[in-house]
Structure 1
């Protein structure tokens, strides 16, 4: 992984990585690979943010699905490749926690695919490879020099890549639109807007005009998780942000994420993270590796 990522929890023993959202970490990170440096981990892991790997010598692009268990391929396949890791919130409201509400963005649909192993392989036509080469080189320059406005400039270059990626993955994007992904975007938007107050499956179902049973079936089929699990995830994402970025007492944080009972909030946080909120806030900074 890159220094911009961190393990936020484990799902069935598999580490889940999130992209750091602070004033120091750039919104995009590049990681170059060679015959001795494999992408990511060789052991199973999960990203909660979009990742793509471009293999310049062959023009192959590997689109890593968010939320799925990934196992890195053999090192040789990635010789000469560059990984692009980024905070999805960079394409919208820069202040939002990059949780699944980013699924509403049309340029990020390719990262929602359901391919086996969590990786979709595409090929960049020879005529379009200069666009990819120049965009990645420009992002690299912006991240290295970090002159005024570098975040906006890097975002602009990444946007060009994502537009071309969406065109390469046109069939996949079309399938996602037809299979209910816009509904998921609406569900996540409701949760995003209302997670700071009492919110139930029935409330979300009413907001999107569906029965609770039907909504549960659709969401579980497309994401492998329940609506209530996504409500909890949104609250936990906001709780982690408040624990990391503020000195607010745990009771105040509980109320801000729609859970007025601090004891229940603490039990829920511990169940999801293996630590109490105070322990999570006071834990040593993780060792970073490139």
Structure 2
């Protein structure tokens, strides 16, 4: 495992690794390894999610938390990149036990239940460059440790998790299967109308609920408000457009449902600590 990860217990002789949550440890770690270079060659358990990306084959291995993993599948692989992260960091950095953070919508792929704790997916060929560039950007942030690097690396991680959710199956489908039909309906409305003006009242009206009741339910189930999820979805699309296109800032704003470029720039700066132009650079 990485230096940040440590053994905290054992289960039937199998070591259990934890990802520390402290100001000195970044919320995300990236580790590259080749054949025979596994950080942990024996069976083990970890209480946090892991993504393993193989650029040559465009494979993504979604490694579930809490299950016994036998990494023999990776012994002969070349150019593997493992992304370790503290899932609680996705909830504004607050430390949360597994039963709480596992309900985060972007972490549903890690609850796949596949034998051996590993789900293998394939990145579409047109998304390979995005995965390569995003992981390289994460590595650069972690090496430079500049101001705002924690927020930046979490932003990159969020982009990967959104792409992963779409690859594994849409977030809405996962929410419905997990017994969260109302939350699924909220995400379905946000997904369908994200490119147009959208507010809490709009979502509540479409679902036939009062804004106050909807806010209470969504906050209780996900830890965030409907408006925060709308903003998160807009910012995810904005980051993707800024990093993969040369579109003017005003056009990026329009495509994510914000007519006023000035308001978009202020919202982006509030969310990321940098202007859209600076973030793109």
Q: TM-score, normalised by structure 2?
A: 0.61
Task: Compute the displacement of 1:36 (Å).
Answer: 3.3
In the alignment, what sits opposite 1:198? none
Contact 1:34 1:80 in 2 (8 A): yes
Inter-partner Cα distance in structure 2 for 1:181 and 1:43? 37
In the alignment, what sits opposite 1:5? 5
Q: TM-score, normalised by structure 1?
A: 0.59
Task: Compute the displacement of 1:74 (Å).
Answer: 4.0
| Count of aligned positions | 182
Cα–Cα, structure 1 residues 175 and 161, in superposed 2: closer, same or farther, change >3 Å? closer
Task: Compute the displacement of 1:142 (Å).
Answer: 0.3
In the alignment, what sits opposite 1:35? 35
In the alignment, what sits opposite 1:22? 22
Contact 2:49 2:63 in 1 (8 A): yes
Whether 1:99 aligns to 2:98 is yes
Inter-partner Cα distance in structure 2 for 1:180 and 1:63? 22
Cα shift readout 1:81-125 (whole Å, capped 9, x = no counterpart) = 100000001111313245331111110100111001000000001
Tell me: higher relative CO, structure 1 or 2? Use CA pairs within 8 A at least 6 residues apart. 1
In the alignment, what sits opposite 2:77? 78
Cα shift readout 1:28-66 (whole Å, capped 9, x = no counterpart) = 00110112312x422111111110100011100000011
Cα–Cα, structure 1 residues 48 and 76, in superposed 2: closer, same or farther, change >3 Å? closer
Task: Structure 2: state its 5+ residue gaps.
Answer: 182-281
Inter-partner Cα distance in structure 1 for 2:132 and 2:29? 16
Task: Compute the displacement of 1:18 (Å).
Answer: 0.9
Inter-partner Cα distance in structure 2 for 1:173 and 1:49? 23
In the alignment, what sits opposite 2:63? 64
